[in-house]
Structure 1
Amino acid sequence: MKLFNSKWFIVLVHIAIWVVYLYSPYFFRPSNAEFMHGDAMRNHFMKEPLPPPLPRNYIHSIFTHFNMVLDVILVSFFYLNAYVLLPKLAYKKKYVSYVTAILLFIFLIVIAHIAIFNPALHPPQFRPGPPLGAGFFRFLTILACSIAYKTIIDKIAQDKLAKEKENENLKTELSLLRSQVSPHFMFNVLNSMVYMARMKSDNLEPSLIKLSSLMRYMLYDADEDKVPLQSEIEYVESYIDLQKQRFEDTVKVNVTIDVDSINHYIEPMLLIPFVENAFKHGTGMIDDATINIMLHVREQELKFVVTNNYNERLKETKDKISGIGLANVIRRLNLLYSNDYKMDIKDENGLFEIHLTLKLT
């Protein structure tokens, strides 16, 4: 791809196209023998024979000079029209000036034709040369190609610019989403630390160690586009351990992780909002509070299931202060994985369940 986008490659392609286009007429030009045969036929039917033909080298020189002049005019017009006349005149609706410029180039072709093939400037027996219409047709062809070329490169440039803007917008939006996830998560973790400090729990010190590992991941790894799946799993496990230390035996947590390979990558902090949501709504004034977390990876496909029961009377209150974790992760899934993910959410009879299927890289 870098070769095709190289300026030198583009220049070489232009040169190759011009060589093929400009010099192809030489391969189809009548030979000197054909000219002589034509003269003999005309002598047979005319009362006064034509003068002896001019030397072949002289004829070849005249045609070469004309084609060289015409080639210079056509090549100059192609790029002048594409990079000057169209942007400066046609695109700005200065149509009279644009047409005038085109007529000027047509006039140059006529002048070149007359100057080189005018019988007054050459022996009277010399043929008048190629028809003027041939040069005019080539000019129209170059005009059409120049307009098409400019239209195409403008379209490519616009699409590239739009893509760059879209990518920048996506990067900006993802950065904002990540920055929103991290404080929200930290707010909940610190609340857990405060609770353990008040209870004078012996788990406070190991919890702080776990928190430091979480901070390290959030500060150094979460800024990457992709992280190893194993790092994301360790992050989730550390969070679960912190919550287990906080709730002790009041919440039953079942975790099942089955991954076929460590060579998978995922968007950082993509799974934690689902787990965080389960602990937020699946704890408190709930009988037999249970949270089930299952992660299964096979052949580049990740299946992530999180279920929790909740107190329907407290759900509305918790929703009002639930933050933005789930909403953000759904938005990030749409931005990053588009059609490569599927998510189903079930919420009925006091049971909340999320099924996420994701294609990994």
Structure 2
Amino acid sequence: MQSIVKYRHFNLILHALVWGIVLTFPYLISNAENQYKIGPLPGFYFTLSGIIHMIIFYAGTLFLYPKFLNKTFWWLYIISAILLIILSVWLKSNMLEWWFPDDYSDARTHVLFPSVMAFIASILYSITAEKIRAEKLKNENEAIQLGMELKFLRSQISPHFLFNILTNLVSLARKRSEHLEASLLMLSGLMRYMLYEANKKISLQQEVEYLESYMELQKLRFGRDVKIIFNKELSPEGTDFSIEPMLLIAFIENAFKHGTGYTDHPFIKIDLAVSEGVLFFKVKNQFDESDTNKDESSGIGLSNVRSRLILLYPGKHELVIHKDSNLFSINLTLQLL
């Protein structure tokens, strides 16, 4: 809304400036000894006719073009344009004859053409303004659509994440694990993060702490059954970069979902580094091609993160997903600047 008001103010100032120059043009380039003439046209007549041209321009732009130039009233538009030009020619001819009789014979040849040009200028301006408005409306609609799509994608994160976490807690409950209470407290912290941070960009440091909390929760579940390796290289400057929240977690969730319980020696390796404003993120895990751990929510995380990357980092990311034998890996390069 504020940008629209600024645009209108700028447009108003621009119109006032242009017409101000047009109406005062004789007094800027000529002198009183020559009656401020521009060619055969007296300066005062040039200003009066300029006012008429301004009326023609805005009558065509603000009324005739938007009201009549359509499939129904196009003929009325043409008739109105002709009448408007004829009226202006009559007014200017009479002004010359009554007020500037000495210049009438030389200046009358300049009566018709400026009126026609003023009307043509109104047509060109209206077409250009209409295209700008249409493009602006298109961009606004696209922004609204993208915002709604992003909101929907973000809304998918929480239930999908909670579904996986609650599955983990059920596993601990069945084992009557002593870690169940610690897991619930950790889940509480993760839920707080989702509620208050998931709708805005956050610092990379916050996202890393979230990933670490999630991995600690998984360690409580699996203990030493799964080898988890997390390497991070973050300079003090690197932690200040902003990132879309819960963007990286989908890859780690996927690794735990499909890289544990179906291989003899499961491992998950995660590498995270930032260099010169570019994030390098890698996740590698074993998987069993006969894995039948599929449900309706399977794949939501990866497809979600792909869509969010396209929406939020167009042209600023590269995602490579690779399967080799029983190894699954993702490699994400993301420009944070």
Same fold (TM over 0.5): yes
Measure how far apart 1:288 and its partner are. 0.7
Contact 1:3 / 1:9 at 8 angstroms: preserved in 2? Answer: no
Q: Where does 1:166-177 land on structure 2 (aligned, <5 Å)?
A: 166-177=142-153
- Runs of 5+ consecutive residues of structure 1 not aligned to the other structure: 34-55
What does the per-residue CA deviation read over 1:57-78, in whole Å, with 9 as the maximum and x for residues that have no partner? 9xxxx95664454223211111
Residues 206-258 of structure 1, C-alpha deviation per residue, up to 9 Å, x if partnerless? 1111101100100000011x111111111111111111111111111111111
Letter aligned with residue 273 of structure 2: H
Name the residue aligned to 1:288: 265
Matched positions, count: 330
- Specify whether residues 14 and 196 from structure 1 end up closer, same or farther in structure 2 by C-alpha distance, changes over 3 A only: same
* Contact 2:232–2:272 under 8 Å retained in 1: yes
Superposed, which structure 2 residues align to 1:6-45 within 5 Å? Answer: 6-25=7-26
For the aligned residue pairs, the C-alpha RMSD in angstroms reads 2.7
Question: Does residue 248 of structure 1 match 2:223?
Answer: yes
Higher alpha-carbon Rg: 1
Q: Is residue 329 of structure 1 aligned with residue 330 of structure 2?
A: no
Residue in structure 2 matched with residue 279 of structure 1 by the alignment: 256
Q: Is the 8 A contact 1:110 1:132 kept in 2?
A: no
Alignment counterpart, residue 74 of structure 2, candidates 91, 95, 100: 95
Over 3 Å counting, the alpha-carbon distance change for 1:133 and 1:94 in structure 2 is farther
Asked if structure 2 preserves the Cα contact closer than 8 Å seen for 1:73 and 1:105, the reply is no
Residue among 18, 32, 51 paired with 1:72: 51
TM-superposed CA distance for 1:113, in Å, is 3.5
Q: TM-score, normalised by structure 1?
A: 0.84
Query: Where does residue 274 of structure 2 map in the other structure?
Result: 297
Q: TM-score, normalised by structure 2?
A: 0.89
Further displaced range: 64-73 or 334-343: 64-73
Q: Displacement, 1:154?
A: 1.4
Distance change in 2, residues 1:104/1:211 (3 Å): same
Summarize deviations over 1:141-197 as a string: whole Å, max 9, x none: 212221121122211111111111111111111111111121111011011111111
SS in 2 for 1:312: coil
Q: Distance in 2 between matches of 1:63 and 1:3?
A: 41
Match of 2:91 among 88, 112, 124: 112
Structure 2 residues without counterparts, runs of 5 or longer: none
From the superposition, tell whether residues 31 and 64 of structure 1 become closer, same or farther in structure 2 (CA, over 3 Å).
closer
Match of 1:355 in 2: 331
| Secondary structure, aligned partner of 1:155 | helix
SS at match of 1:311: coil
Q: Distance in 1 between matches of 2:174 and 2:328?
A: 31
Aligned equivalent of 1:84: 63
Displacement of 1:132: 2.9
| C-alpha displacement of 1:291 | 0.5
Deviation at 1:23, TM superposition (A): 3.2
